[in-house]
Structure formats: structure tokens, C-alpha cells
Amino acid sequence: MLTALTPQAPDKILALMAAYREDPRDDKIDLGVGVYKDASGNTPVMRAVKAAERRLVEEQTTKVYTGLAGDPAFAEALSKLVLGEARPADRLACVATPGGTGAIRQGLELVRMAAPGATVWLSDPTWPNHPAIAKYLGMKVRTYRYFDAETGGVDFDGMREDLDAVAAGDVVILHGCCHNPTGANLTVNQWDGVADLLVAKGSVPFVDIAYQGFGDGLDKDAAGLRHLVAKVPEALIAASCSKNFGIYRERTGLLMAIAPSAADLKVTQGAMASLNRLNFSFPPDHGARVVSMILTDDGLREDWAAELEEVRNSMLGLREQLAAALRDRVGSDRFGFLAAHRGMFSLLGATPDQVEVMRRDHGVYMVGDSRMNIAGLNATTVPLLADAIVAAGV
């Protein structure tokens, strides 16, 4: 049987990580892997996470399974963080998942269960796992314009024009904030426009929010999503705790489904729990307990939010430094969009050949489409990257 398997395409980011490790140069720069790094190149455990874990070890009396949907306290705490006052408690179904990726997978499984013929609409470009999972599940996929390479911003006119073709029951995946890979975000007014369009079309938004707190702050990063939720009759939301709590390896995520009415809630919750049972049975709990402890303890929450602000401001500072360094070198503000972008990533706009020149001649590692992780920089490497970008002719 196994001899019938065919080689799978290698993951580009994992291949990039391997090439970076094998590069002997001391001044090489890793802008590929999607994790936050501090000025020393480390991905630290947050103070509140350490404190919560210590308390958990001392207080936890059992490792017995949680329910199929996970710990209700986690679902309540995280859904309140994401949705705020827009949280429709009487219509909200939640299940814990193995990370944000697990929430995306479970959400698309739910779509396939409820509407097998639905088309899944994805931004162009988007996170590579979005189309990969949808296509693996045999779902129809279409794209809508999103990024304007000329301005480095959102092509909102193109986006609206393409989404005008969505059909009733189709699902439109949107990035809640800090768009991956572009770094370009919708304004709150644009979120309102998208919500109005989806309501008119009878299509369902599926919002992937993996970087809340990394852009403009916890509430501002969720503002567009909250406007959307207040307008649409139903929605899916995949939330990740990997980045804003720094618990990547704990695989902590939550799938939320807003049902059309309170009467639909029980069936929706049951379907989601059933999918958990079929895919991995009970979800992981350690990270979820840590998150719920932090969010429900005033002291831990305050310390976590303060450290998250330090992380956010560090990335904003690096963006401004890089944009200024490039302005000095090229004599124009054509890279100013880098300072306007939010989150870990920006799409530089370099060709694959230019990306290869930067890797070969300067030891700068970024994905071939020129997505770069701003958090991979520090004050020393910003000018090195600026020199590499100019030398490559970007």
C-alpha cells in the first residue's frame, strides 16, 4: 500500500528554515519563519504565561479528559477577548482546537458538512494553508483581489468587484487583522462595506484572527470583526493564541460559530463537537487553561497585556526604522508602506529573482513571494536588510 504514495511538495517555509540553518554566515537574517523574536533573536515565554503555568502545576489535581468542546471557561474568556460587546452569547457555539490551524480545518469541515457545494473565497494572496486545506477537503475555491502591489495597500475596489460574484451560501475567508502575508489591513469602514455586501449576497464570512494585539492593540485589531459580527446573521471565526500569548507549541485555538438564531445553537454546537470527536477526539487543554487563567485574573491579564504592548511597539519601531533606512537610501518614500503595515509580515514586492539575490549575496532569507517577518529584525540588521533590498534592485 505505502509504495503507492507519491512525494508531497515540500513546505517552502520549512525548506527555507533548513537552508538558513545550513548557511555559515554570521550576518545572515531569518525573515521567513512566522514567530515573534525579540532583539536577541529569542522567542521568549511571556511573564504571565510562566506565572499561570506555575499556578496550574500547583493547583491542577487531574489530567482527565475535558469535554469534546474543551473547557467552557476557555471558550468564554477567549470569545469575550475577540468579540467584546459584539459577542452574541445566545447564538455562539465554540470548540477548542489544536491551534488556529485546527480551527480553520474544523471550520471548513463544518462548511462541507452544512453546505457541500459552497465555494470558499480566499484573498489573493493569503496564508498558504487556507487553499491547501480547502483543496484537500475537495472544496471549490476561488480568489478575490486584495493586495495592491503598486501602493502596498488594500485593493478595495478590486476586492468588492470580485466579491460581487459570490453566491448565497458561499464562504468568504477574511483576515481579522495583520493580514498574512501582506500586512495590509481593511479599515473599519471597509469592514462595514464587506459586511453589507455579504449580507446582501447571503454569503458567510469566515474570519481568521491569529494576530490580535500585534497590530494596533487588542480592541482596535478586533474592531472590524466586531462590526462585521454585529451585521451578519451567521459567521465563523478561527482564533489562535499562538502569537499573542506566545504559546506556539501548545497548539491553542478556538473555533466560534455564530448561528442564525438561538434555536440553531444546539445543533451547531453538536455538529462542531462531533467533528472534534472524529478528527482528534478531545482537544489539548494545557494552553487553553493557561489562557483562561490569564484572562480571568486581573493581575495576570494586566501583565500579559503590558508585555503584549511591548511586543507590538517593538514591531512598529522596526517597521519605522526600516522605512526610514530605505528612504535614506533611495531618496523617496516608496517603501513607506512598510511603516503603514501591521503585524509580523509585509509583502516587500520583490520578484523571486530579487529574493534569491538577497539570499545569495546578503544572507537574507525570506519566502519567494517576498513575504518577510518584520519580527526577525533588530536594530543591527535593519540597515543590512535595507542595503540588501537596494542592492537587489527592488
What are the pLDDT digits (tens) for 131-167? 999 999 999 999 999 999 999 999 999 999 999 999 9
* Position 8 pLDDT exceeds 90: no
Block residue for cell numbers 482546537 = 97
191 is catalytic: no
304 is catalytic: no
* Position 237 pLDDT exceeds 90: yes
Distance set, CA 130 to CA 18, 100, 180, 207, 377 (Å):
23, 11, 11, 12, 27
Whole-angstrom Cα Rg for the chain: 21
Section 206-211 average pLDDT: 98
Distance set, CA 365 to CA 13, 82, 355, 368 (Å):
10, 33, 8, 9
Q: What is the pLDDT of residues 82-94, one digit of tens each?
A: 999 999 999 999 9
pTM: 0.96
Least confident of 10-14, 73-77, 250-254, 298-302: 10-14
243 is catalytic: yes
What is the three-class DSSP state of 208?
strand
Of 163, 165, 161, 158, the closest CA to residue 174 belongs to 163
115's grid cell:
453546505
Q: DSSP code of 175?
A: E
Model pLDDT, residue 239:
98
Catalytic residue among 243, 304, 375, 386: 243
* Position 15 pLDDT exceeds 90: no
Q: Are 96 and 204 in contact (CB under 8 A)?
A: no
Give the β-pairing of 252-258 and 235-240. Answer: antiparallel
What is the three-class DSSP state of 332?
coil
In order of their start, the domains of the chain are: 10-45+301-387 (3.90.1150.10), 65-296 (3.40.640.10)
DSSP string, 111-138: HHHH-TTPEEEEEES--THHHHHHHHTT
Catalytic residue among 30, 155, 170, 208: 208
260's grid cell:
442564525
DSSP string, 38-105: -TTS--PPPHHHHHHHHHHHHH--------TT--HHHHHHHHHHHHGGG--GGGEEEEEEEHHHHHHH
30 is catalytic: no
Catalytic residue among 37, 69, 127, 259: 127
